[in-house]
Amino acid sequence: MSESAPQRPSQEPVQVPVDESHIVATYANFCRVTGTPEELIVDFGLNKQVTGPSPETIQLTQRIIVNFFTAKRLAYALQMAVARHEQAFGVLETDVQRRVIQPPGGKA
């Protein structure tokens, strides 16, 4: 008689019901990450001056505070989403200066 390993539950993602009736969408092109030993604090805002010297004051509009377990799951989910986007549309250049198209023989 041979013993078989115990059956493990399926590792398929669990669909969690969510209520989006009170959700507020906000655009942000600036993010600051700080934290404590227990939590990660992510602030979002709008940088109106994306090129040039030092930016004007950036008004922060949203703050998300998560524990490090949630932060790790979020980092993984974001990594996967960006990887899928880059597979479909090409690599994203995060250096603004490299994205600026220089006119022939001059400065932008």
In the chain, where the domains are located: 30-99
Provide the pLDDT for residue 49. Answer: 81
Provide the pLDDT for residue 14. Answer: 85
The reported pTM is 0.68
Tokens of 94: 């995060």
Q: What is the C-alpha separation between 101 and 108, in angstroms, rounded?
A: 7
Tokens of 14: 């669990």
Residue 83 half-sphere exposure toward CB, CA atoms < 13 A: 6
Letter for the amino acid at 80? M
Provide the pLDDT for residue 94. Answer: 86
Provide the pLDDT for residue 11. Answer: 72
Candidates 44, 45, 35; CA nearest to 67 is 35
Other C-beta atoms closer than 10 Å to the C-beta of 67 total 10
Q: What is the C-alpha separation between 66 and 40, in angstroms, rounded?
A: 5
Residue by residue, pLDDT tens for the chain (108 residues) are: 555 555 555 677 788 999 999 999 999 999 999 999 999 999 999 988 867 676 688 999 999 999 999 999 999 999 999 999 999 999 999 887 787 776 666 555
- Go through the chain and tell me how many residues it has: 108
Residue partners of 65: CB distance under 8 A and separation at least 6: 39, 40, 41, 42
Provide the pLDDT for residue 2. Answer: 52
Provide the pLDDT for residue 81. Answer: 97
Provide the pLDDT for residue 45. Answer: 95
